[in-house]
Amino acid sequence: MRDVIIIGSGPAGFTAAIYTARAGMNPLLIASSVESGGELMKTTEVENFPGFPDGLQGPELMANFQAQAERFGTEVLLDDVIEVDLKGDVKIVKTGGGVTYEAKTVILATGAAYRELGLPKEKELSGHGVSWCATCDGFFFRERTIAVVGGGDSAMEEANFLTRFASKVYLIHRRDTFKASKIMQDRALNNPKIEVVWNSEVAELLGEGKLTGVTLRDTVNGATKNLDLDGLFIAVGNDPRVWLVENQVELTAEKFIAVEGRSSKTSLPGVFAAGDVIDPTYRQAITAAASGCVAALDAEHYLADH
Measured from the CB atom, the residue of 33 and 224 that comes closer to another protein is 33
96 sits near another protein (criterion: CB under 8 A): yes
Q: How far is the CB of 128 from another protein (least distance, A)?
A: 6
100 sits near another protein (criterion: CB under 8 A): no
Question: Nearest-5° angle of CA 285, CA 286, CA 289?
Answer: 85
Identify residue 231 by its one-letter amino acid code: G
Measured from the CB atom, the residue of 76 and 271 that comes closer to another protein is 76
33 sits near another protein (criterion: CB under 8 A): yes
Residue 246 CA from chain centroid, whole number: 18
Residues with Cβ within 8 Å of 241's Cβ and at least 6 positions away in sequence, in order, are 110, 111, 112, 113, 277
**136 in catalytic set:** yes
Q: How far is the CB of 254 from another protein (least distance, A)?
A: 27
Phi, psi of 235, deg, nearest 5 = -135, 60
Measured from the CB atom, the residue of 1 and 34 that comes closer to another protein is 34
**137 in catalytic set:** yes
Task: Using CB under 8 A, pick the residue from 47, 139, 250, 280 that binds another protein.
Answer: 139
Binders of another protein in range 210-229 (CB under 8 A):
210
42 sits near another protein (criterion: CB under 8 A): yes
Q: Per DSSP, which regions of the chain are E strands? A: 2-7, 28-30, 45-46, 56-57, 75-77, 81-85, 91-95, 100-108, 112-114, 130-131, 145-149, 168-172, 194-197, 200-206, 213-218, 224-228, 231-234, 238-240, 271-273
Query: Which residues contact another protein (rule: CB under 8 A)?
Result: 32-37, 41-42, 59, 78, 80, 96-97, 126-129, 131, 133, 135-137, 139-141, 210, 231
